[in-house]
Structure 1
Amino acid sequence: MSGPWSLWARGPKDDDNTREVSQPVEPRETLTIPTEIQRGHPIAAYRYGAYGGLGVMVCLPLVLLYNRFLRRIPRQEYLRPNDFRKRTFYGYVPSVGDGDNFHFFHTPGGRLTGWGWLQGRRVQDFPKPLVREKGTIHLRLAAIDAPEMSHFGKPEQPFAPEALAALRKEVLGKYVRVRFFRRDQYDRVVGVAWYYKWWFWKTDVCMAMLKKGMAGMYEGTYNVEFGDREEEYRAAEKRAKKQKVGMWKQGKALVTPGEWKTRTAVGGSFKRIPK
């Protein structure tokens, strides 16, 4: 049989031209280290080592810059030991809880990164649920003690609403700078706050409350924080007492916030006890 039918009858095994020859398969390159380095090429090893060192030199300052200035701190539990006393923080005040404490929304980088003026970075335009979701730091102002509002079933102290209104006027809806000292027993952060008026006039919030007579010096003896202005704070309190401004108008009938908390804690009388 000849022709095409002969090839069909014989099959591919009988035809030398259709025989498949297996070729050796070369192994795949699975090396993760450059071949030049594995072969001991000194110039290649130096080059790749230089690239790695250059990458570390570029990335490390960026990481340090981010941790120092651009890392946002949503709540007080995210504060690190180096965040206390050694640096200041810039942020927005979305709410004020009492005459001596408020909530602080950290805005890292401040105005240089667009906070407060760039579209999308104005905290005052954020809805309240978004502010709560992103988190705030509860700041207790150091050195001062304001009249107590009604809470936990305790009555309201005289001049407490006025003190709350005064602190709201000072910081509510404003961007302020704060310095943290420590965390207190109520999981708040004790610190001082200030803001600038007309770009150069610095207003210390604690000092402002003392001058208005809406707070007195903190009378506690355990873990008391005054920063570096204790003498100035005491002098401001003394002037407010002498001028009878704010809560000092009550004269001898005055019950200090410290005395008020002590008496309400033990269920005693709210009238001043003669000394």
Structure 2
Amino acid sequence: MPFDVDNLMARVRQAFGITALPDKPSAAKKPNDAPTHSHLGKTLPDWTTAVTTALAQVFSPTASQPYPFYLLTTGTALALGWVVYRGTRRFPTADHIPPRWVEKRKPIRGRVVRISDSDNVRIYHTPWLWFGQIPDLNREYMKKSIHVRLAGVDAPESSYFSMPSQPFSAEAKEWIALKLRDRRVKVIPCGKDRYNRLLGMVYVRSWFGLWQNVSLKMVQAGYATVYKQHGAQYGGILEQLERAEAMAKRKKRGMWSQDLKVYVSPAEHKRKHLRGEDTV
């Protein structure tokens, strides 16, 4: 038995209180008419017209029972509102990043606005629907930027408090400044440390438009070691980091060009001079 589309459309119109469509006058079939699909019970153009007309009446605001129209418009408005909310939601600091965002490792994009030291930077979060200008933060940078600790690496320490600087600390900071200053970056969260800094893998685009992992590049250049202390996060690239460090040592790149007999790791240097206050 062929599928009766007219009967189906009549039932749909009856269910939603829609006035029946006027019957089309029959016409003799011409040689150029569209072929009849017997399993549909009518020609394909007529079937398409019937379906689209019925749906238009069902979702019309002038229908006798316009509930489908209200549901469609409400659902569309809610969906668009959710997209706009997610696309413009900005996190001023690491404190504002929800735990589930970090757990799901959702990317955070923004512009680097400050190089704190060789393995700490601050970024101004710019969501994907955010088109504003980045303000001059001045002294308010701590309240309006996300403090990011580069995950998986430890760079030579600069001088602060009573701790002297390490060899190649200035070169390491210069390297990361050239790499990241005022650049747009993508941060893949790996967690947060006890100071609520965001531990993340920072990515910056190369000249060819490809994303480069800054932690990996820094180890390859010989300006950072693989961080092996408590709470270390590697974003799934620990083996790559270890191979990069071994290669940098063999090639005597960066800090590995010094006499390794007197080499002191950044973690050991901090323990010695800060008395274990902070080894991160």
| TM-score under structure 1 length normalisation | 0.70
For 1:133 and 1:247, how far apart are their aligned partners in 2? 31
How large is the Cα RMSD of the aligned pairs? 2.4
Native 8 Å contact 2:188 2:201 kept in 1 = yes
For 2:139 and 2:265, how far apart are their aligned partners in 1? 38
For 1:45 and 1:74, how far apart are their aligned partners in 2? 50
Question: Alignment partner of 1:83: what SS?
Answer: helix
Native 8 Å contact 2:155 2:172 kept in 1 = yes
Cα deviation 1:223-260 (Å, max 9, x = unaligned): 22000211111100000111111111222111001111
Evaluate the alpha carbon distance shift between residue 131 and residue 249 of structure 1 in structure 2; reply closer, same or farther with a 3 A threshold: same
Counterparts of 1:56-205 in structure 2, within 5 Å, are 56-84=74-102, 85-109=104-128, 114=131, 121-123=132-134, 126-129=135-138, 132=141, 135-205=144-214
Cα deviation 1:80-126 (Å, max 9, x = unaligned): 1231143212110011011111001111117xx54xxxxxx343xx3
Q: Tell whether 2:251 aligns with 1:243.
A: yes
Evaluate the alpha carbon distance shift between residue 184 and residue 67 of structure 1 in structure 2; reply closer, same or farther with a 3 A threshold: farther
Task: Tell me the equivalent position of 2:238.
Answer: 230
Question: Alignment partner of 1:187: what SS?
Answer: coil
Structure 2 spans left out of the alignment, 5+ residues: 1-61
Evaluate the alpha carbon distance shift between residue 80 and residue 45 of structure 1 in structure 2; reply closer, same or farther with a 3 A threshold: farther
For 1:133 and 1:76, how far apart are their aligned partners in 2? 10
Question: Alignment partner of 2:236: what SS?
Answer: coil
Question: Alignment partner of 2:114: what SS?
Answer: strand
For 1:152 and 1:98, how far apart are their aligned partners in 2? 14
For 2:112 and 2:270, how far apart are their aligned partners in 1? 26
Native 8 Å contact 2:110 2:125 kept in 1 = yes
Shift of 1:156: 1.4
For 2:208 and 2:88, how far apart are their aligned partners in 1? 23
Paired letter, 1:154: M
Q: Which runs of 4+ in 1 moved over 6 A?
A: none
For 2:158 and 2:176, how far apart are their aligned partners in 1? 13
Paired letter, 1:245: R
Native 8 Å contact 2:162 2:273 kept in 1 = no
For 1:247 and 1:255, how far apart are their aligned partners in 2? 10
For 1:254 and 1:195, how far apart are their aligned partners in 2? 30
For 2:195 and 2:73, how far apart are their aligned partners in 1? 45
Shift of 1:134: 6.9
Task: Tell me the equivalent position of 2:262.
Answer: 253
Larger C-alpha radius of gyration, 1 or 2?
A: 1
Structure 1 spans left out of the alignment, 5+ residues: 1-42, 115-120, 268-275
Question: Alignment partner of 1:191: what SS?
Answer: strand
For 1:57 and 1:173, how far apart are their aligned partners in 2? 40
Evaluate the alpha carbon distance shift between residue 153 and residue 59 of structure 1 in structure 2; reply closer, same or farther with a 3 A threshold: farther
Question: Alignment partner of 2:261: what SS?
Answer: helix
For 1:151 and 1:184, how far apart are their aligned partners in 2? 20
Paired letter, 1:73: F
How many residues matched?
213
Percent identity, aligned pairs only? 30
Native 8 Å contact 2:120 2:148 kept in 1 = yes
Evaluate the alpha carbon distance shift between residue 105 and residue 159 of structure 1 in structure 2; reply closer, same or farther with a 3 A threshold: same
Cα deviation 1:200-224 (Å, max 9, x = unaligned): 332210111101111000020x222
Paired letter, 1:226: Y
